[in-house]
Each structure stands twice: as C-alpha cells, then as structure tokens.
Amino acid sequence: MKQIPYKIYLEESEMPKYWYNLRADMKTKPAPLLNPATGAPMTAQELGGVFCEELVRQELDDTTPFLEIPEEIRGFYKMYRPSPLVRAYCLEEKLQTPAKIYYKFEGNNTSGSHKLNSAIAQAYYAKMQGLKGVTTETGAGQWGTALSMACSYFGLDCKVFMVKVSYEQKPFRREVMRTYGATVTPSPSMTTEVGRRILEAHPGTTGSLGCAISEAVEAATTNPGYRYVLGSVLNQVLLHQSVIGLETKAALDKYEIKPDVIIGCAGGGSNLGGLIAPFMRQKLRGEADYRIVAVEPASCPSFTRGIFAYDFCDTGMICPLAKMYTLGSDFIPAPNHAGGLRFHGMSTTLSQLYHDGYMEAVAVPQVEVFQAAEQFARVEGILPAPESAHAIKVAIDEAERCKQTGEEKTIVFGLTGTGYFDLVAYEKFHDGKMTDYIPTDDDLARSLSKLPKLR
C-alpha cells in the first residue's frame, strides 16, 4: 500500500469539472417548494421573481446528474481549491486509536468556510443575468463574508442583512464584508416593511436568521435589478457544495482508501450534502455502502427532535414552504447557544434521505463540542469553527469506540471552517461560563404548533 501523505492534494487537472446533483439518483425525490398563498408547487416563474434564472433552473432540476461548472467559476475555485484532505495522524496518535481519521479542510480562504463554493457560483449567475446586485441575510457572518468576496470579484452590489446580535457582537466580520464593498444592515431594520412590522411586534429584539431572510427577500423584490441569494438549505447550494465531496472522493480513490463512516455538521445541510454527494450516489445506486452521520447541536435539533413536514423557511412567512425536518419557523435556540448551526429547518434533500433511512443523525451538547474543538486545535493546529467542531466531536467519539473494539475503521469528516471570529464563544468556554440548554418537549411543541396547515 502507498504511504499516505499528511495532506492529499489533487492536481489542477484532477479537480472536478462537473457538480453532481444528488437528487438525480434519489428514488423518492425531495418534495417541491410550495407557494404559501396557494399551496401549489412554486413555478419557475414565481421563483424567478426572487432568485436568479439559472439558479431557479438548478433548484428545480431533479433529473440531471452532472452539471458542468462554468470556466469562470473553475478559475475562481483554483484560487483556493483544491482544499486539502488531511490525514489526522496527530489526532490518531493522541487518541491512541486504530481508526484512520481524515478531514476535508474548507477553511483555507479569507471567508474562512466552505460557503465561498456556492457564493461564487451564485454571484456568477447573477452577473450573467445582467443584475445590479444581490441581497442576502447572514447570521454569524460567514455567508455574508463569502458572498461579499464573490460579489466584489464580479463587480456586483451586495446588500447583507445581518442578525442584529451578531452585527453588534461580531464587528470584525462586518468589517471584512465592508472591505469587500458590501452594505451591512443590522436586522430587524427600519429599511423594510417586514423589519418595521417585526420591530413593532417585538421592540428590542436582537433578531434571528428567519427574520433577516424576510428582510433580504423583501429588499430583493422591491429593488429593481436585484435578486435574493441564500447560503444553505436550497438544492442549488448542495449542488455547488458537491465540489467538496467530489474532491474528497477523488483524493481517497487516488490512494485506494474506502471510508467506513462519513461525518459532517448540519445547519441547513449544505456542507454535509456536498461532502456526502458522490458517496451517497454509490449508496443510492447500490454500488457501495457507507455510514453517513449528520451532527447537529442539542440546542437546535432539527433532525433528531424535529418533525418531517412542510414549514416556512423564514419568520416573516413570506418564503416558499419546504418539506423538511423542522422545529417550527419561530423556534430560536437559547441565547446562550454559541455553536452556530441555528437554523430551525434542514435541506429538503437531506431531510428526504434521512427519512428514507440513508443517513443517521446525532445531536451533541455545546460544552462537549468545545472540548473536542480544543482537543483538536491542540494536536492538529487548526482552530476550528464551532460548527465544524460538531463533526470533530462525533469523529473523536467514533475513534474512541474503535479503540475499545480494536476496529481499524476509516473515518472521514468535514472540517468546514476556522474559528477566529468565534473567540467570544471560546472565551465563554475557557471561563467556564458556557452552559448547555437543551429545549424541553414543551418548548418544541410550542414552536411546532405553528406549522402551516396545508389544504
């Protein structure tokens, strides 16, 4: 067997030329988005009022397996891709495990996460359509940062609605976005109808992702030449993120490595959907089998405690309805939750796959997540994003189990980004001020009671 290097890089010529559309191989397709007013599936024309044309085509296409990555996007990818697939030799050594651990590291770009993979694609299609700019929301700020980088590359205007609490607590992210020319507005704001409505109903609110989405959609539909873009959850985003999994698979194949377990954190599901894409393809086609594990925070447990139903994607209830694992659109994780992954719903594609038994999910409490993050940082050198640390936690647990059983499993996990902008959360952890708040069944029942009633 070939000696496995610390980092497996692909040659430029080995980088993916096509994205892979997982839906093409699913027997049960994800349920369509519905118009909240009529309950009928959203048409391309209706979606086109909010999203870019080509992205609508991608969103609705559940039959074409491979889509060529445009030359310009591949050119941009080359600035920061291929991303390394790292053999975690130091972590294995530290854990004294017979397991072999690999991680795909997506934090090697200024935005610090995988989100740039889709941001550049979405900005490209907006540019091709001749638009002036795009609007979006951002929570912790990774998506807004990635999108402002992508927009400045193509000379597009970028309006970001940033959840107010993050706007105030994460001034550095805000300044990165402004460096790339984006306008950043704390949400809820007085600049939109829905923002004013929310502020009137909840004066002093520090905002939520669902609320910022409502504002960004309104800004896109009321400003001529603008469309709305979203950094996760949607099928098109999973499609662009398939570049993560395709590179991972190519790197593993190069050394004839077959993973047993593939682990990723799940917020809206885009990095996980991307990482598992080519592996899930084999699984769906009966060509190979893998254990696939989604990791979510115990404080926002969409897969493990949510229900599979049509729900709103935003608080303002103006976005299409999606059939997904959800905690209810007005579920907001406890204020002490610092680990990210706070969206109430989940990608429709991953929801369907989970429902059909193709993957597992586990929820982990945040103190243990930060313990895993610190353990990882100390041996592997990288300071992980709290989101990514959810995957680290479960990979370590799996490796510890292998130590007990003596199994030499191969574990692959997604290390989605770096945590330099999350040091307030690390500070809380180091000061022993971090706590776990796990929603009660009553909390969940309350937000789930507001699911839309479909005719």
Q: How far is the CB of 11 from ligand PLP (least distance, A)?
A: 26
Nearer to ligand PLP (CB atom), residue 100 or residue 104: 104
Q: Which of 439, 95, 83 has its CA nearest to residue 241?
A: 83
Q: How far is the CB of 3 from ligand PLP (least distance, A)?
A: 31
Q: What residue number has its CB nearest to ligand PLP?
A: 417
Q: How far is the CB of 115 from ligand PLP (least distance, A)?
A: 5
Cis peptide before 384 (omega within 30 of 0): no
Longest dimension (CA), the chain: 66
**447: Cα within 13 Å, side-chain hemisphere:** 24
Q: How far is the CB of 286 from ligand PLP (least distance, A)?
A: 27
Q: How far is the CB of 118 from ligand PLP (least distance, A)?
A: 9
Query: Using an 8 Å Cβ cutoff, are 364 and 264 in contact?
Result: no
Residue identified by tokens 């490595």 is: 257
Nearer to ligand PLP (CB atom), residue 33 or residue 272: 272
What residues make contact with ligand PLP under the rule CB under 6 A?
113, 115, 142, 232, 265-272, 341, 385, 387-388, 416-417
Nearer to ligand PLP (CB atom), residue 184 or residue 194: 184
Query: Using an 8 Å Cβ cutoff, are 319 and 229 in contact?
Result: no
Query: Using an 8 Å Cβ cutoff, are 373 and 398 in contact?
Result: no
Q: How far is the CB of 180 from ligand PLP (least distance, A)?
A: 16
- The Cα 85–Cα 83 span in angstroms is 7
Q: Which of 411, 443, 237, 238 has its CA nearest to residue 337?
A: 443
Nearer to ligand PLP (CB atom), residue 269 or residue 328: 269
Contacts (Cβ under 8 Å, ≥6 apart) of 43: none
Nearer to ligand PLP (CB atom), residue 10 or residue 275: 275
Q: Provide φ and ψ at 183, rounded to 5°.
A: -95, 125
Nearer to ligand PLP (CB atom), residue 77 or residue 194: 77
Q: How far is the CB of 331 from ligand PLP (least distance, A)?
A: 16
Nearer to ligand PLP (CB atom), residue 206 or residue 388: 388
Nearer to ligand PLP (CB atom), residue 209 or residue 402: 209
- The Cα 399–Cα 396 span in angstroms is 5
Contacts (Cβ under 8 Å, ≥6 apart) of 454: 34, 39, 310, 321
Phi-psi region at 105: left, alpha or beta (left = phi > 0; alpha = psi -120 to 50): beta
Q: How far is the CB of 171 from ligand PLP (least distance, A)?
A: 18
Nearer to ligand PLP (CB atom), residue 241 or residue 329: 241
Q: How far is the CB of 146 from ligand PLP (least distance, A)?
A: 8
Would you call 440 exposed, middle or buried from its count of C-beta atoms within 10 A (0-12, 13-18, 19+)? exposed
Residue identified by tokens 């608080």 is: 315
